[in-house]
Amino acid sequence: MKLMRVGPKGQERPVILDADGIYRDISAHIGDLTGDKLGAETLTKLQALDLSTLPELDANERIGACVANVGKFICIGLNYADHAAESGLDVPSEPVMFMKATSAIIGPNDDVEIPRNSTKTDWEVELGVVIGQEAKYVEEADALDYVSGYCVINDLSEREFQIERQGQWVKGKSADTFGPIGPYLVTKDEIADPQNLDMYLEVNGARHQSGNTKTMVYGVAHLVAYVSQFMSLQPGDIISTGTPPGVGLGMNPPVYLKPGDKMKLGIQGLGEQQQTVIQG
């Protein structure tokens, strides 16, 4: 299934995208796409619905983040060897983890704001993993059992705040609008192999990132299991799994976003995002 949330900010309704691309309102069945509605039992009930009987919504409505009330937004750094190289850093011997503030989350096509005093706002297309049930000390062989589905994420980053301003990366990752998520939460039954998905990102029509999740240093199952050794993962938590090469920081000379720029990014089977950059 492709699950979405559409409507004005703060008033989004959950929908299923049917085979004809029609938005079908499922709010009468689940209320919203919150973590407690992302478990196998609820998803099985949704799959059994006769979509033709559900209310149709306007396909031109704004698309919100595909998960409501995200508890933890966990990110993995330097998880593609070639991205680590362009950043001038070694491939880590264990996954690099950092948190991104949930207040950064926006819809996939909402405007992205350059923060005040920013000179190095950058882009990163990433595969998002949405947790469907509590995961604590799980084994890698079982890790995908705890996954509800996948989504596209643009892990926007302010490189000066991240690298040059001391402390943890979270400062450069958490500005308002720095977490576009969606358009869909695609349930895991539709993704045969999360480690073989093409991904791309363009700025003003120029392709900067072209990659595939098969080149991750640490795959999805490993990451879910690894993170669960340090903290329990709750339904609705999201893990953003790292980016392939082609970010602005890695260009020579570096290139960063400016007001008026337009980004387009996507992942095979998970849809596309489009954002216009504005000054915050």
The per-residue pLDDT for range 45-76, each reduced to its tens digit, is 999 999 999 999 999 999 999 999 999 999 99
| Mean predicted confidence (pLDDT) in 69-85 | 90
Q: Give percent of the chain above pLDDT 70.
A: 100
Residues 124 and 244 in one domain: yes
Using CA atoms in the order 114, 118, 123, 126, what is the torsion angle rounded to 10 degrees? Answer: -90
Range of the domain at 39: 2-57
Residues 52 and 81 in one domain: no
Structural contact between residues 257 and 111, judged by C-beta atoms closer than 8 angstroms = no
Specify the pLDDT at position 259.
98
| Mean predicted confidence (pLDDT) in 194-206 | 98
pLDDT of 26 higher than 80: yes
Total tally of structural domains belonging to the chain: 2
Residues 7 and 125 in one domain: no
Q: Provide the whole-model pTM.
A: 0.96
Residue 145 placed within a domain: yes
CA distance linking residue 237 with residue 35, whole number of Å: 7
Residues 248 and 132 in one domain: yes
Specify the pLDDT at position 65.
98
pLDDT of 37 higher than 90: yes
Residue 63 placed within a domain: no
> Which backbone phi and psi does 15 adopt, to 5 degrees?
-140, 160
Residues 121 and 160 in one domain: yes
Residue 183 placed within a domain: yes
Residues 53 and 110 in one domain: no
> Which backbone phi and psi does 206 adopt, to 5 degrees?
-95, 125
Residues 198 and 250 in one domain: yes
Residue 65 placed within a domain: no
Residues 6+ apart with CB under 8 A from 48: none
Residue 62 placed within a domain: no
Residues 218 and 98 in one domain: yes
Specify the pLDDT at position 6.
98
CATH (domain of 132): 3.90.850.10
pLDDT of 209 higher than 80: yes
**Residue the block writes with tokens 């089977």:** 269
pLDDT of 83 higher than 80: no
pLDDT of 213 higher than 90: yes
Residue 51 placed within a domain: yes
pLDDT of 89 higher than 80: no
Residues 118 and 8 in one domain: no
Residue 165 placed within a domain: yes
DSSP letter, residue 250:
G
Residues 109 and 26 in one domain: no
Residues 6+ apart with CB under 8 A from 146: 131, 132, 133, 134, 135, 138, 224, 228, 233
Nearest to 84 by CA among 96, 75, 73, 74: 96
Residue 67 placed within a domain: no
The confidence band for 92, taking pLDDT boundaries of 50, 70 and 90, is confident
| Mean predicted confidence (pLDDT) in 158-162 | 95
Residues 85 and 198 in one domain: yes
3-class SS letters over 20-65:
CCCEEECHHHHCCCCHHHCCHHHHHHHHCCCHHHCCEECCCCCECC
Structural contact between residues 34 and 64, judged by C-beta atoms closer than 8 angstroms = no
Helices (H), the chain: 27-30, 40-47, 81-86, 159, 170-173, 220-228
pLDDT of 91 higher than 90: no
Residues 171 and 249 in one domain: yes
